[in-house]
Structure 1
Amino acid sequence: MKIEDSLVTKTYYERKFLQGDLEDHPIRQLGELYVKEQKKEMSDLSYIRFAQGEVYFHNSDFEAAIFKWENIHNELEPWAKKNMADAYFELELLDTAEDIYKSITTDSLVLNTEIALQLFTLYLEQNKYEEADQMIKNAVAIHPDYQNVTELACAFFEERKDWNSAVELAVKEAARTKAPEWFKKLHTFIEDGQTVSFGPSHFVPILYLAQKVDVSIFEQLMEALWEKHREKEEDFLLWITEATIILLDPDIPSNHHWKSLPLLMEDSFRQLLSGRYYLSELTDIMPNLLRAWMKLGNRAEGTFAATAVLAWNDVFAGHMDEKTVQAAQGSLSQTAGVEPLIKDSSALAKSIQGWAGSRNLNLHPRFEWSLNKLTDLQSRRIIVAGKSASEKTSFIHLMLNQGNGDFMGSPIPVMYQDGEKTQLQLISNEGITTVTNSSEWMEFEHRRDALMKYTARYPFLHDHHTAVIEYPDKDIFSNSEHFHDYVRMSDALLFVLNSAEPFSAEECEFLLKVKEKIPLCPIHFVLKKDNLLSTEKMEELSKRIHQYFPESGLITYSPDGNDVQQQQGLARFMEDHFSGNPNVRLRTGNMLFFIRGIIKHLLEQQAKIEDDLHQSIQHDEDLLARLKGAVNQLYDIEEEKTKTIQNAYKSLKDELRKDLLQTIPKLIKESADILREDSDFGSIHLKLNEEMNKRIDEYVQYTVHPTYISSLQDWISFSEKELNRAQELLIEWSDSLNDLMGQDRLRLECDFQILADWQRDADRMTGIIQIDKENILLKRTPAQVLLKSAGKIFGVIPANQTIMYNRYKSFIENEDFTETAESIADKFFRQFELLEKAIPRDISLFFREPFAVLKKSAEFYQEQADHNTAMLDEMKSHPEMFRDPVKLFEVRLRQMEWLQFQAKDEKYVH
């Protein structure tokens, strides 16, 4: 054991003094040595004191240990201080321990490491995690080989979820020790997603080192990083750049059996061609990726890599170096064909459809429908064609077991398929339309781009899992490309020969072109029996057919024959030539053809898209202007209707008020008729006041109030007419706007509930009106005071009765009671103030829904116009945003075409 090891474990006393002699207790032995040393002339007790302190420490006598270590002043002094700090630590005097640890100065790596570890533990006890973090990092920096210090640090970082520190430690230790376990620890961190904060270039040095340590570990690290970086689109391209530079390094072996990297490069190739990237981003990246893929791929994977190289070179000539292209050609010539690519073709089609859909691009629905049909391997389609319309139609009658058909002989292709529900659909470049009546069919029957799909109960088709496409005879020879498109939708061609001249030169030449274009498509023949057609002629015809089409079958039929027998014969023919699943290689080739058609359509569509966007923006802006104008007009209408209806209410109110102000003073004055010369003028003012209020109340209850209710009904009727006129105008607006929108989008319906609310309020007002009595003659005006005081003074004197009578009568008849009339009018109308004040709010509620609909529609068209404007601006300023993804789709298509047609006996015909 090294002396520093004994100092660390506090066993210096055993190494220095006891030397394994444990018969006596160390305290006794060291005590005897102490006494012996003390007796010397030149004694040095420091070493024995140091050793005694260790023994006291091990026996938990920490104070005695500290006492011994305080007096050490030789080379052991730093260790003595450290031991003193350990003792204070054990005594839980942590601050003192920390101060002592920090005061120690030494050149010893071991002691400095021990101090750092002790401070690390001390800080953990105090939950000082930042200080603990610094101490464990110090320990690793000072002496990384010391007693599992790196493992302790890594465990601490993991527990604290300090993944950056843990990852950095793993990288440094892997580089320092080249130990596989540290590379594996780094791999675990990557797989668990703990390296997300590190950029793609961060691990390049350690990857170079990993391949020198263990190629399998290198591949695992590359795979883990590849998977993580592909999840972050912004990092993925940079990672591909770094990764391919590493893989193309000469030190990376090409003959190693790579398990995951070739497949990752294949997936990345697809991802880069998914429409999310521009060519400018891939120009420098793709060649290296393809070269690395070629380098690492085995025989099967090399086929995909080679076809990817050739496809990229086909579409972007000059991007690949000639040496790599030649290597790809050589690799491809030595490999066998791959499995059919129908799933990959379908995935590519969906990628294109998804990309186009996200940009509101119009794909040919007929092409999309054809692609979907081609992926269905549970059913087949047979196209039936021929120059003779009658013979072709009679054969289809036989096949469908129907004497007639509504659409047989149609000028456009018709597909008959079995189904429980009878349905007729038109599939065209504009979409799929269900046709419900013959007049609609007449509109579509001359569409050159259309296919009619007719579904009904067809037992023969059901039994053979087959649909039949009848191709019109008119332009079969003159428009062969159109015909070829429909052949590519089919699994076989049944050609009905012209019985007048069966398998003529014209028919033969035409079918040879079909075979040249679509070599995998089976061609079989149908011939109507004729009395003049002898057995010898049939044999000769069969020989001529097999000379050009050796695998073709020939079936005959007779319009006048036994349908049951002929159906049986046709069933046998189907079993002989169409048993089993459809030809997947044929389906794949046809899918690739339609995908190429979609790509071509997209490339041609850019100018049309820009024009459509411009028109759409103009249309949206016109609609937006109309909608905003409608909102402003509606504000004017609301204001106008509010004013009109308020004025109407004010008019009836003013008229009633005028009547009140005119009538009430008269009623008050007429109340003087109750005066008599013999009246008690001491209290007559009370009787007069009572009479006046009584007459006013009767007038209000039985004249004014009924008049008001009647006028209110008239006002409600008037308001209803006004509001109906507004609703009619809004209906005209919605019809006009819906015509412009091309859909029944707007419904500007007002809330007529307010009329019901007004009517309800009017109904509530039909009861008795309560109006407080007025103190008409009890007010303290000078004349009234005079009358009342005079009444008290003279009322008892009979000679003065006449005077008082005349004075009262004169006072009442000449007094101005306008103020009283105003007060009564105010009280009367106060009961109806809520109705009057609510008119603006109610009319606002009436128009609330039309406002909301118009504003929401305006927001929609504003957003749509803004979106289309931004898209148009981007297309004009960045034409690559449209062109590049389509060209990259073409690379993927071209690769599958290379894969599909790589066999020497197959001809690339697209």
Structure 2
Amino acid sequence: MKMEDCLVKKAFYEEKFLQGDLEEHPIRQLGELYLEEQKKDMADLSYIRFAQGEVYFHNCDYEAAIFKWENIHNELEPWAKKNIADAYFELGFLSTAEDFYNSITTDSLILNTEVALQLFTLYLEQQKYSEADQMIKNAVAIHPDYQNVTELACTFFEEQEDWNSAVELAINEAARTKLPEWFQKIHSFIENGYTRAQGASHFVPILYLAQKVDIVLFEKLMAALWKSHEQREDYLSWITEATIILLDSDLQHSYKWESLPELINNTFIQLLSGRYHLADITEIMPNLLPAWLKVADIKTTPLASAGVLAWNDVFPAQMNQEVVHSAEEGLAKSANQGTLMEKISGLVGVIRNWADERDLNLHKRFENSLNQLSELNLKRWMIAGRSNSGKSSFVHLMLKQPESSLIDTSLPIVYKSGGTTEFQVIADEGISTVTTSKEIIEAESRQDTMLVYLEPNAFLQEHDVAIIDYPDLNGLNKNNKHFLEYVRMSDSLLFVLNPIEPFSTQECEFLLDVTERVPLCPIHFVLKKSAQLTPDQISVIEKRIKNYFPEAELITYSAVEDSEQQQEALSRFINQNLNKERNERLRSGNMLFFIRGTIKHLLQQQVKVEEKLQKSIQFDEDLLSKLQGAINQLYDLEEEKTKVIQNEYRSLKDEIQADILNTIPKLIKESADILREDSDFGNIHHELNDEMNKRIDEYLQYTAHPAYISSLQNWISLSEGELNAAQELLISWNESFNDLMGEERVRLECDFQILADWQRDADRMTGAIQVDEENILLKRTPSQVLLKSAGKIFGVIPANNTMMYNRYKSFVENENYSETAESIANKFFRQFEILEKAIPRDISLFFKEPFTALKKSAASYQEQVDQNKAALTEMKSHPETFRDPIRLFDVRLRQLEWLEFQGKSSKHAGL
């Protein structure tokens, strides 16, 4: 055993001194050696003391061990200090142990590592996780190969959820050791989402190394990183890094890739979804596509090759021509991909979502055709023919309907079985249900319109068939684009021949052109029997047809023969001529045709979108102006109603107050009638004062107060009328705004609770009122003082009663009581002041909700205007933001067209 290993295990005593008899206890053996050494002239007891300390430590006599190690001053002194620290640690003196560990100075990697690990354990014991983190990192840095130090560090980082440190450790160890388990650890961290803090380029070196260590691990790491970056902002940066790695690497051609080809395919689709800027994508694709080709296998090569060729079609200057040539070869040699319907439907969904997010109007007729073509269970047969061909009677035969019941219209009609009878008009602008013949006639005036007729129909339901009845062809124009669109909506074309000149040269040339343009669409022929057509003639016609259309069948029918038998024959014909594989391939090509039309339509939408945005801005600004005007008018209305209601209240108050000010002085003066010549003029002023207050109180309680309450009820009624008039005006605004907005967006409802509150206050005030008595004759005015003094002086002289009577009466009847009346009026109205002062606040509450609704709508439209203006500015200043996604849709479409072309080539090669 190496010496440092012995020192770590505290087994120096065994290695150095106990090489002989091991049966005798080490303490005794070392004690005897100590005595022998001590007898020497140049005795060196340090080594024996060191060994004795180890034995004491192992036997838990830590104090004795410390005592022995404290006297070590040779090359073992650093180890002795470390052992002393270990002993104090065991004794629980952690601070002392820490001091000893930190005091050790040595060049030994192992000792330094051991000290770091012991301090790591000590700090964990003290829950000093920051210090523990630093110590374990020191240990790894000093000696990463030491025992299980890296595994211990990784476990600690994971427990502390310090994923950055854990990831860095795993990367460093994978690079240092090249052991698969560390690459697996990195993969685990990535899959669990613990590498989000690391940038796109962080794992590049380790990925290059993983290729050399294990190609399977390399792919797992690449796939995990690819998925983890999909939702991150640096996704495009990652794709750049990843594709460079794939292109730079000398990858094994024999390796079968499990996940990268599909991941790159998904990335290709994501990049073409309209979410990313074209400028960014054009920097990525020249590397992504060759990288895709490089990892593609026999199954994924067609997708990758078609992707390269599609990108080269749209951006020819960007692709390396060697890569393009390789893609052409790969596509030519690849196996048929089978149905493309799922991929095509995916592209349709992406385009639809992109258009919906921007409120774009898709070509509704094309969109409807795409939806119908994606329903593989429903077969669509198109019936067409020249005028006077008997097409209507054949349609009647298929539908089991009287010919007179068929719809007379110049529009193409799609007959479908449905639960109820319903007509739908499908135009470029949209789909609508119609209920009158007038609406159908109006639809005929619009170009590119079709009619869908749904009704319960046993034949259509039994065979899962929809029939497209195309209007009579007056001329056979080879450039009949409209006709070809409906052929592409169909799984088969049944062409009804003109019985007078069946399968004419003109009909033949027209249909050969249709076959050239829509090569997979089967064409069959229908001929109405007549007395002029013999079986031999029909046989000749059929042979002529076969010369040009070898797979075509000729169906003959009669308007007079048993319809049931003919229906059965039609059923057999439908079942025999249904080639599911061919039908799916036909629909794939037709869907691609309508997608191209939709993309072309979208390209034409930019001007329309700008016009729509401009109109929307103008409309919203006009509406916003009306809302702002309504808000200002509402302020005026509130001010007007407040003024009217407040003035009415003040008017009734002024009327009552005037009556009080006029009546009270009279009542006071009339109180003189209680004076008599025999009155006690020494106290008469008290009697008069009481009488005056009594009469005033009766007047206030039984005259003024009831009159006020009655006037208050009238005021509430008048206020209710004013507020109702305001509400009616707001209702008219409400209806007007909602008509303009096209929805029930504004509710201008006022709060009539204030009337209930006012009525409650009025009811509360119907009881008796309390007005404090006035000291009318007890005030110290000069005339009153004189009068009261005279009363006291002459009150004892009977002969002076007449004089006092006259003087009191004259005083009472001639005094000015206006100040007293005003004081009483103020007291009377004091209890009503709260109601009066609350009128403006209450009316403000009445209009609060309408104000809120109008302001909220105004803010909403202002935000809408701002957004539309920003969108319009962006569209005008950066038209590429609209056109670039459509160009990318075109790339995706071309990829599918290349695959469809490859499918045709494979099929023809197989034939």
Instruction: Give the TM-score, by structure 2 length.
Output: 0.94
- Residue 268 of structure 1 aligns with an amino acid whose one-letter code is T
Q: Which residue of 1 aligns with 2:345?
A: 346
Distance in 2 (CA, whole Å) between partners of 1:682 and 1:556 is 140
Is this contact kept in 1: 2:383–2:496, CA < 8 A? yes
SS of structure 2 residue aligned to 1:383: strand
Do the aligned partners of 1:617 and 1:868 also contact (CA within 8 Å) in 2? Answer: yes
SS at match of 2:183: helix
Show the counterpart of 2:794: 794
What is the one-letter code of the residue matched to 2:657?
A: R
Match of 2:905, as an amino acid?
Answer: K
2: CA distance, partners of 1:475 / 1:698: 106
Matches within 5 A, 1:356-371: 356-371=355-370
Q: Report the residue type matching 1:904 in the other structure.
A: S
Aligned length: 907
Q: State the 1:425 CA deviation.
A: 2.6
CA distance in 1, matches of 2:360, 2:690: 88
Q: Tell me how far 1:861 sits from its aligned partner.
A: 0.8
CA distance in 1, matches of 2:43, 2:60: 28
Aligned residue number for residue 878 of structure 2: 878
Say if 1:86 and 1:318 are closer, same or farther in 2 by CA, change over 3 A: same
State the one-letter code of the partner of 1:639.
E
Match of 2:9 in 1: 9
Aligned to 1:36: 36
Aligned 1:60-459 pairs, distance under 5 A: 60-232=60-232, 234-388=233-387, 391-403=390-402, 408-459=407-458
Contact 2:396–2:406 (8 Å) recurs in 1: no
User: What residue in structure 2 maps to residue 673 of structure 1?
Assistant: 673
1:658 aligns with 2:633: no
- Matched residue SS, 2:822: helix
TM-score, reference length from structure 1: 0.94
Q: Contact conserved, 1:394 with 1:559, CA < 8 A, in 2?
A: yes
C-alpha deviation, 1:202, in angstroms:
1.1
Shift of 1:555: 3.0
Aligned-pair distance for 1:663? Answer: 2.2
Deviation at 1:291, TM superposition (A): 0.7
Tell me what 1:904 maps to. 905
Taking structure 1 as reference, are residues 392 and 758 closer, same or farther at Cα in structure 2, changes over 3 Å only? farther
Question: What is the letter of the counterpart of residue 49 of structure 1?
Answer: R
Measured after TM superposition, the shift of residue 710 of structure 1 is 4.5
Letter in 1 for 2:417: D
Tell me which residue corresponds to 2:783.
Answer: 783
Letter matched to residue 43 of structure 2? S
CA distance in 2, matches of 1:581, 1:853: 60
CA shift in 2, pair 1:765/1:566, >3 Å:
farther
Write the deviation string for residues 584-604 of structure 1: whole angstroms up to 9, x where unpaired.
Answer: 222222221121112111222
Work out the CA distance in 2 between the residues paired with 1:440 and 1:683.
Answer: 104
Taking the aligned partners of 1:721 and 1:698, their CA distance within structure 2 comes to 34
Q: Note the C-alpha offset of 1:559.
A: 4.0
* C-alpha distance in 1 between matches for 2:63 and 2:765: 102
Q: CA deviation at 1:35?
A: 1.7
Equivalent-residue separation in structure 2 for 1:766 and 1:443 (angstroms):
71
Instruction: State how far apart, in whole Å, the 1-side matches of 2:529 and 2:771 are.
Output: 110
Contact residue 387 and residue 473 of structure 2 kept, 8 A? no
Q: Secondary structure at the match of 1:819?
A: helix
Shift of 1:366: 2.6
Structure 2 residues without counterparts, runs of 5 or longer = none
Q: What's 2:552 paired with?
A: 552
Residue 827 (1) aligns with residue 821 (2): no
Q: Which amino acid aligns with 1:402?
A: Q
Contact 1:491 1:582 in 2 (8 A): no
CA distance in 1 between counterparts of 2:84 and 2:747 reads 90
**Alignment partner, residue 464 of structure 2:** 465
**SS, match of residue 8 in structure 2:** helix
**In 1: Cα distance, 2:641 partner to 2:433 partner:** 47
The alpha carbon displacement at 1:578 in A equals 4.3
> Which SS does the other structure have where 2:325 is aligned?
helix
Post-superposition CA distance 1:208-228 (Å, at most 9, x none): 111111111111111111111
Q: Which residue of 2 aligns with 1:494?
A: 494
Farther-moved stretch of structure 1 (167-176 vs 574-583): 574-583
Give the C-alpha shift of residue 505 in structure 1: 2.9
* SS of match in other structure, 1:527: strand
Q: Tell whether the 8 Å contact from 1:377 to 1:581 is kept in structure 2 after alignment.
A: no
Post-superposition shift, 1:891?
0.8
Give, in angstroms, the shift of residue 870 of structure 1.
1.6
Contact 1:378 1:581 (C-alpha < 8 Å) held by counterparts: no
Tell me if the contact between 1:476 and 1:483 (Cα under 8 Å) persists in the aligned partners.
no
Deviation at 1:569, TM superposition (A): 3.6
Decide whether the 8 Å contact of 2:272 with 2:889 is kept in 1.
yes
* CA shift in 2, pair 1:77/1:716, >3 Å: closer
- Residue pair 1:412, 1:448 contacting (<8 A) in 2 also: no
Per mean C-alpha deviation after superposition, the further-off stretch among 10-19 and 39-48 is: 39-48
Deviation at 1:318, TM superposition (A): 1.4
1:482/1:641 CA distance change after superposition, 3 Å: same
Q: Match of 2:184, as an amino acid?
A: K
Is contact 2:385–2:473 with CA below 8 Å preserved after alignment? no
Most deviating of 829-838 and 283-292: 829-838
C-alpha contact 1:393 1:409 (8 A) present in aligned 2:
no
Contact 1:379 1:582 (8 Å CA) reproduced = no
The farther-off stretch of 767-776 and 9-18 is: 767-776
Quick check: 1:380–1:582 contact (8 Å CA) kept in 2?
no
Per the alignment, do residues 531 and 83 of structure 1 end up closer, same or farther by CA in structure 2, a change over 3 Å counting? same
**d(CA) in 2 for partners of 1:189 and 1:475?**
72
> Which range is displaced more, 223-232 or 570-579?
570-579
The separation in 2 between residues aligned to 1:761 and 1:82, in whole angstroms, is: 91
* 258 and 753 in structure 1: CA distance in 2 versus 1, 3 angstrom threshold: same
Quote the offset at 1:686 in angstroms: 4.4
Q: What do the CA deviations read for 1:825-859 (whole angstroms, capped 9, x no partner)?
A: 22333333333223212322332222122111111
Task: Give secondary structure in 2 for the equivalent of 1:892.
Answer: helix
Deviations along 1:725-744, one digit per CA (max 9) or x if unpaired, are: 43444344445444543555
Aligned counterparts of 2:767 and 2:497: Cα–Cα separation in 1? 97
What amino acid maps onto 1:225 in structure 2? L
Deviation string 1:724-776 (CA, Å, 9 cap, x unpaired) is 44344434444544454355543434344544554555566556555454443
- Which deviations, in whole Å up to 9, do the C-alpha atoms of 1:496-551 show, x marking residues without a partner? 33333333333333322322222222223333332322212222222233333332
Q: Which AA in structure 2 matches 1:26?
A: P
Give the letter aligned to residue 457 of structure 1: P
Q: Quick check: 1:26–1:55 contact (8 Å CA) kept in 2?
A: yes
Deviations 1:287-332 (A, max 9, x none): 1111111111111211111111000001111111111111111111
Aligned residues with identical type, % of pairs: 67
SS of equivalent to 2:604: helix
The separation in 2 between residues aligned to 1:477 and 1:657, in whole angstroms, is 100
Q: How does 1:500-519 map to 2 (within 5 A)?
A: 500-519=500-519
- Name the CA distance, whole Å, in 2 between partners of 1:711 and 1:656: 9
Q: Which residue of 2 aligns with 1:526?
A: 526
Matches within 5 A, 1:718-729: 718-729=718-729
Unaligned runs of at least 5 residues, structure 1: none
Task: Tell me how far 1:863 sits from its aligned partner.
Answer: 1.1
SS class of match (1:284): helix
Q: Aligned equivalents of 1:524 and 1:436: distance in 2? A: 35
**Change beyond 3 A, Cα 1:771–1:301:** same
- Cα 1:366/1:834, change in 2 over 3 Å: farther
Worse-matched range after superposition: 704-713 or 11-20:
704-713
Instruction: Give the Cα separation in 2 of the matches to 1:686 and 1:405.
Output: 114
Per-residue deviation, 1:691: 4.1
Mean Cα deviation higher: 365-374 or 149-158: 365-374
Q: How does 1:693-704 map to 2 (within 5 A)?
A: 693-704=693-704
Distance 1:405 1:447, change over 3 A: farther
Q: How far apart are the structure 2 equivalents of 1:334 and 1:273?
A: 26
Q: Structure 1 453/796 Cα, relative in aligned 2: closer, same or farther at 3 Å?
A: farther
